Structure 1
């Protein structure tokens, strides 16, 4: 024990105050478990609230307002070019964050969850040392612990000709891009995944000329191509350039410019930008936790190994959220936090990765849940497909958004719903019905026979299911006629 170090004894220590961590703490408190929430940041909410989900959606809403007003001329309404005050936009975004953070503080206080601000490191399998800012450290002894320390942007130091350039203010990651210090005239985005495309959508709407460089042959690698295609069409209009099958060979800061060396077919060898955003993924925050002092095992990527109850190889320690593997999504962490707390309380609870929705909040939005077409092909799984184009949706046309699509994958023998994909406005809201369908083991007829309000975008799920049922009925009739 360190001189000046105090000791606290609790039933449960939750390390990390993001969505998974504070949700786990609240659920544990509900179940009567004496809980302490240890957070390295002064305000709870983690990356999601302060440097991810919430600030990005606030800025994406601003981008949507700009873009929709611009397209209004297609139905006879013209607006003057928007006057964008970046300082006021930033202040509004920060206000949203503060309101939510204060709300979380209130919930934790109401649930009698103690908060301890500082960096935690395991001393053994039963305690963590918390180094506090300007105060004596605290050793927290626990019966159980939940690790929920999240992740951080991946850096690519090998991309830079000069090592010091990696920390240049001209080089952005998702955190600094969301800070919105200014709007560069020319912005390079390295990586065509969801973070890069969302931030590209924001900056393009605010006035940047956005160039995206992606190594793979399509945007959103791994996502269903039927869903990506309408998005790619829109982004080709909104972005300055999109280079696919192209690698960034190097980045160099010259004066106040970023010089990018590129390699790809029909791509300039060098291009000049005002700033560059590196968005090539995230890495788990497991390397400074002192896990070597426990029996917790991590894999080659730094993720903590867990079972379906979120228990690690050290039986009293659990791990949730980004530190426990893919997909690195806040709503996954929230569900895992609830499961871990319930298991610790002695309840029968487990986590299933099959019904986790993914949403890309671009324009249009892309969302999917369950099995994707890409995964089905890779795994050799035979599926039936039911589609409905939004060009036939009354609501989509009245919104002037006809380029969407709803797609259902189902078992051709049982018609059980295996996966759903949606591209179009509010796809992220619509996917909730698909999550429930997959979670409850619904069949195609369940979606086809459920009455959906008309005219709505949710109706496209019903229409896709009806289309699939009709095709199955035709095939059955043809087979009977052939006998």
Structure 2
């Protein structure tokens, strides 16, 4: 039986980052993954393929709507969906191969199979074709020993009993990144990140997109004013939103599907669509891991319960990180935990600042935020100043034809320390990074305002908002 310092079940962002960091800290490491490729949901069927499709669809829409103003004459523009998917698959293959390279470089031993707990120091690896940890027909399984074990098994799409997924007319995000043609009408159930991003892809390529959402607005606890702005822009682009509508059922019918929804008035109506995308969220993937056998406790919400000082479960020596524990289901959050948990194991001061984890929606324009929004600050009774800046007057934004959007900074009224930020606009994901770093270091809005930003850049929008928070905005 092979023995290791650390065994990691799951080869996604949480697992593979933990494996690399553990190797750097001189641990012998095994990583167990049931997929043929490493990278988990994010690299294989989530973050990376969706961004590839978003990029392709954005180029296509630009060719139709923006090229002429730039003086570029492009006739008979057509979309080759098969080529778009081929490019997406190539990108996925390259990034997954990159993770495999990292494992070899850092001497992490890879095991292909389904990992399940035998004890707090043993992991059984079954043939991946069994899917649930049960022994395969050829009995091709083995058990390894480890001083410590990390569970990093990620998450899977939530499916509704009344919305039976068939992979054709009724689909999840796994299928939405691999459609072979542009649907005439796509109904998206759920106005979260996944639904909006994939809905945007197919809307740009010509689909009518209707988003059905049970909540009254976008992005849950994120800043209300910013989410309202994002909604208006997406509606102007052609996405239809049905807020406070409950999905009663969806049924495959003919070559498409019919979704029955209940309006706030109580009235039910049927919506016909070519494709129905169920994107109501994700849940931890814990099936067949043997958690109950060794005594690993779960939270009330069905995630693995951990001590967030060291990410250890109720069983000493068994740890959990990423989507299978509490917190936002984000790859970058999982990666931070992957580094921190093994540093704590090695006696170092591993740390994750959960108050400063950015959120991003990669629509166009992008939506990004970090820290607390205005509603949350009011609920906590914290007095704050608001600094706003707009994309429209920014010289670089004008040159890019990216005038839609604004950036907001919220700073403590007494100390001027930045408490939160929200951005809707081009490259919002990049702009929010500066404010995330500022918050990590406890910076004030004046610190950001007095930092020299290159001109002309979109980053000047950050500087303008910081000046505005101090009451001395130059360009407004």
Q: Could you say what secondary structure the match of 2:86 adopts? A: helix
Residue matched to 1:97 = 92
What residue in structure 2 maps to residue 205 of structure 1? 204
Taking a change above 3 Å as real, the CA distance of residues 464 and 87 of structure 1, as seen in their structure-2 partners, is same
Q: By how many angstroms is 1:220 displaced? A: 2.3
Residue equivalent to 2:2: 8
Partners of 2:39 and 2:82 in 1: CA distance: 23
Distance 1:258 1:53 in 2: 27
Q: 2:52 aligns with which of 47, 58, 67?
A: 58
Correspondence 1:22-41 to 2 at 5 A = 22-41=16-35
- Partner Cα distance (1:244, 1:469) in 2: 37
Aligned counterpart, 1:4? none
Structure 2 matches for 1:332-347, cutoff 5 A?
332-347=333-348
Secondary structure of the equivalent of 1:464?
A: helix
Give structure 1 stretches of 5+ with no counterpart: 1-6, 473-483
The structure that is helix-richer by fraction is 1
Any conservation in 1 of the 2:81–2:181 contact (CA below 8 Å)? Answer: yes
Q: Counterpart of 1:143? A: 147
TM-aligned CA deviation for residue 135 of structure 1: 6.2
Distance in 2 of aligned mates of 1:240 and 1:16: 36
Partner of 1:115: 110
Give unpaired runs (5+ residues) of structure 2: 129-137
Deviates more, 1:376-385 or 1:447-456: 376-385
Deviation at 1:241, TM superposition (A): 2.2
CA–CA distance in structure 2, aligned partners of residues 74 and 264 of structure 1? 42
Show the counterpart of 2:133. none
C-alpha distance in 2, partners of 1:370/1:221?
A: 14
Name the counterpart of 1:166. Answer: 165
Cα offset, 1:385, TM superposition: 1.2
- The two structures have a TM-score, normalised by structure 2, of 0.93
Query: 1:167 is paired with a residue of what secondary structure?
Result: coil
Query: Partner of 2:357 in structure 1?
Result: 356
**How big is the shift at 1:240?**
4.9
- Which residue does the alignment assign to 1:320? 321
Q: What do residues 4-53 of structure 1 show as CA deviations (whole Å, max 9, x unaligned)?
A: xxx22111001100011001001101110000001111110000000100
Inter-partner Cα distance in structure 2 for 1:435 and 1:141: 40
Q: Distance in 2 between the 1:95 and 1:370 partners?
A: 35
Q: Which residue of 1 aligns with 2:450?
A: 449
Aligned residue number for residue 301 of structure 1: 301
Tell me, in whole angstroms, the C-alpha distance in 1 between the residues paired with 2:62 and 2:284.
37
Residues of 2 paired with 1:236 and 1:338: CA distance?
Answer: 40
The superposition leaves residues 235-282 of structure 1 with CA deviations (integer Å, 9 ceiling, x where unpaired) of 213335221121222212222221111221588711111110000000
For 1:394 and 1:168, the matched residues in 2 are separated by: 46
Instruction: Tell me by how many angstroms 1:74 deviates.
Output: 5.2
Deviates more, 1:36-45 or 1:231-240: 231-240
**Greater shift in the superposed pair: 174-183 or 48-57:** 174-183
Distance 1:255 1:375 in 2: 47
The 5 A counterparts of 1:242-261 are 242-261=241-260
CA contact (8 A) 1:383 1:410 kept: yes
CA shift for structure 1 position 168: 5.1
Say what the alpha-carbon RMSD is for the aligned residues: 1.8
Q: Report the CA distance between 1:215 and its aligned residue.
A: 1.3
Indicate the SS of the match to 2:177. Answer: helix
Describe the shift of the 1:81–1:204 C-alpha distance in structure 2 as closer, same or farther (beyond 3 A): farther
- Kindly indicate whether the alpha-carbon contact (under 8 Å) linking 1:127 and 1:139 is maintained by their aligned counterparts in 2: yes
TM-score by length of 1: 0.92
What is the Cα deviation at residue 150 of structure 1?
Answer: 0.1
Query: Structure 1, residues 169-197: CA drift from partner, whole Å, max 9, x if none?
Result: 21111111112233211111011111100
Distance 1:273 1:126 in 2: 51
Which residue of the partner structure matches residue 88 of structure 1? 83
Aligned pair in 2 of structure 1 residues 435, 168: CA closer, same or farther (>3 Å)?
Answer: closer
Q: Greater shift after overlay, 288-297 or 12-21?
A: 288-297
